[in-house]
Amino acid sequence: MNVFFTQAQEAAKQWSELSTAFFQEQAKLFQSPLTAGAGAATDPNAAMAGLVKATEQADEFMVKAVKLLDAQSAQLMDAALQDNAAKESLAPVIAGYKSASQAVVAAVEQLAQARKALLDKTRAG
């Protein structure tokens, strides 16, 4: 089988696993404080804690997703150009793309860290 198609199939499998796990966990976090028991008054602090946890997990998912996209894009480009005559002439463009992609990964990681610091302060105060 073609290397590109093998890489694409693996990428699809990884995205499926990552997104399925994330959305299942998000559903649990949003539902648990709201379904404490039939007729029972829900604790606002527990509900807020669940929402904060859901936000943290969403940020973690965002970082994982961007890192996965970065890695898979590089692999797919390499596989697509493996036997392509234009590979050498496209090398500077590919290097520029990979560098820019790494900058996006770093920015997303910084954003997630900043939001985590804000959430930590929210919890403490």
Q: Residues 60-88: pLDDT tens digits? A: 999 999 999 999 999 888 888 888 888 88
Q: What is the pLDDT of residue 48?
A: 79
Q: Token pair 């959430």 is at which residue?
A: 119
Q: What is the pLDDT of residue 79?
A: 86
| Mean pLDDT score, 83-99 | 89
Q: What is the pLDDT of residue 70?
A: 93
Predicted confidence (pLDDT) per residue in 10-56, tens digit = 988 998 998 898 888 888 877 776 665 554 556 777 777 778 888 88
Q: What is the pLDDT of residue 55?
A: 86
- Position 100 confidence tier, pLDDT thresholds 50, 70, 90: very high
| Mean pLDDT score, 107-121 | 92
Distance CA 18, CA 21 (A): 5
Q: Token pair 């860290």 is at which residue?
A: 113
Distance CA 52, CA 69 (A): 26
Neighbours of 46 (CB within 10 A): 13
- What's the alpha-carbon Rg for the chain, to the nearest Å? 20
Do the beta carbons of residue 5 and residue 80 sit within 8 Å? no
